[in-house]
Amino acid sequence: MSNCLEGRTVVVFGVANKRSIAWAIAQQMQQAGAQLAITYQNERLKQEADELIAALPNAQAFQCDVSRDEEIAQLFEQLKSRYGKLDALVHSIAFAPAEELKGEFAGTSREGFRVALDISVYSLVALARAARPLMTEGGSVMTLTYYGAEKVVPRYNVMGVAKAALEASVRYLAYDLGKNKIRVNAISAGPIKTLAARGISGFGDMLGAQAERAPLQRNVDVKEVAATAVFLASDGATGITGETIYVDCGYNIMGF
Ligand code: NAD
Ligand code: 0WE
């Protein structure tokens, strides 16, 4: 592993357990030389997250529920006093109430829609804004998205609409933060068996269909997603902003 992130500070949001995409990203960022602030959502996830994070060199754990403005403000005050500046931010958070990921999109409730877009999309806007004054030497903000943003994936429902809004938010943020030399991008990952995916009925079939149709004839490995995150945080990517980069073994290019 190269030292392409030596001397940089990265904050990662969305570690729930060892299967989380955010955890794979945090580990590879650390291997690339970064010092890490890793956040988890709440008291319920604290013990598992704390144990993982304590075992990673140069990493410190923080709690932040992104639905609460005061927790975001408090976190960034802690980050400012602990690190002074930030170089990259990884947003690996999504949530829709479980009942919205069943049945028809047409049945989406007002509250389910609100919650899905608040947690999965608005949080990126709030976190990017809070990170901006700490990214004094420019920076890299990234989020995780999914193909259901642009094509219908049955039962992904309101999350597909949220991911479409997330990808558009990436472009608008890239425009605004470009003047501060802050780049904003999305990684569109193929399906990966994480906690957020495990409860989904038919997820196993999706993995199979994806591997069958993708040019690379297999599913993506979480390490490949993490390697792309390291790249986006590195000087190799200084010309890339506002993009959605697919890490899906090529699945999205196929028409049939
Ligand atoms: P995960 O369950 O490990 O991660 C989701 C995270 O969101 C959890 O850590 C959870 O604590 C956090 N979260 C939810 N509500 C929160 C809140 N209010 N405040 C703070 N954190 C909150 O699952 P994952 O698959 O690693 O998902 C990470 C990201 O990757 C999500 O954006 C997801 O949409 C995206 N993604 C996943 C896949 C996949 O197949 N697993 C594919 C493409 C994109
Ligand atoms: O973004 C996701 C999943 C995000 C997610 C998962 C859950 C499960 C538990 C958001 N909210 C919740 N709420 C819960 O209560 N993915 C890309 C993985 C995923 O989820 C699907 C998929 C795929 C792929 C749901 C239906 C169909 C396909």
What domains are there in the chain, each with its CATH number? 9-253 (3.40.50.720)
Full-prediction pTM beyond 0.85?
A: yes
Residues 225, 199, 90, 45: is their CA dihedral positive or negative? negative
For a mutational test of ligand 1's pocket, the pick from 23, 69, 74, 92, i.e. the residue with the most ligand atoms closer than 8 A to its C-beta, is 92
Q: What is the share, in percent, of the chain residues with pLDDT greater than 70?
A: 100
How remote is the CA of residue 91 from the centroid of ligand 2, in Å?
Answer: 16
139-174: pLDDT as tens digits: 999 999 999 999 999 999 999 999 999 999 999 999
Query: Is residue 240 classed as helix, strand or coil in its secondary structure?
Result: coil
Residues whose CB is less than 8 angstroms from the CB of residue 75 and which lie 6 or more positions away in sequence, other chains included:
39, 62, 63, 64, 130
Q: What is the pLDDT of residues 225-256, one digit of tens each?
A: 999 999 999 999 999 999 999 999 999 999 99
Per-residue pLDDT of 203-231, as tens digits, reads: 999 999 999 999 999 999 999 999 999 99
Ligand 2 centroid to Cα of residue 144, in Å, is 12
Over pLDDT 90: what percentage of the chain? 96
Q: Among all ligands shown, which has an atom nearest to the Cα of 16?
A: 1
